[in-house]
Amino acid sequence: MTARILDGNAIASAAREQIRARVAARVRAGLRVPGLAVVLVGADPASQIYVRHKERDCREVGFKSDSRHLSDATTERELIAIVEQLNADPSIDGILVQLPLPEQIDANRVLEHIDPAKDVDGYHPYNIGRLALRRPVLRSCTPKGVMQLLEHTGVAIRGLDATVIGASNHVGRPMCLELLLAGCTVTTAHKFTQDVRKHVEGADIVVSATGRPGLVRGDWIKPGAIVIDVGIVRNQAGRLLGDVEFDAACERASWITPVPGGVGPMTRVAMLQNALYAAEQARA
Active site residues: 54, 98, 121
As a whole number of angstroms, the distance between CA 157 and CA 162 comes to: 9
Helix (H) or strand (E) holding 205: strand 205-208
Packing angle, helices 172-181 and 125-132, rounded to 10: 30
As a whole number of angstroms, the distance between CA 188 and CA 226 comes to: 16
> 231's torsion region: left (phi>0), alpha (psi -120 to 50) or beta?
beta
How far is CA 165 from each of CA 4, 22, 127, 161, rounded to the nearest angstrom? 22, 35, 22, 13
As a whole number of angstroms, the distance between CA 87 and CA 260 comes to: 34
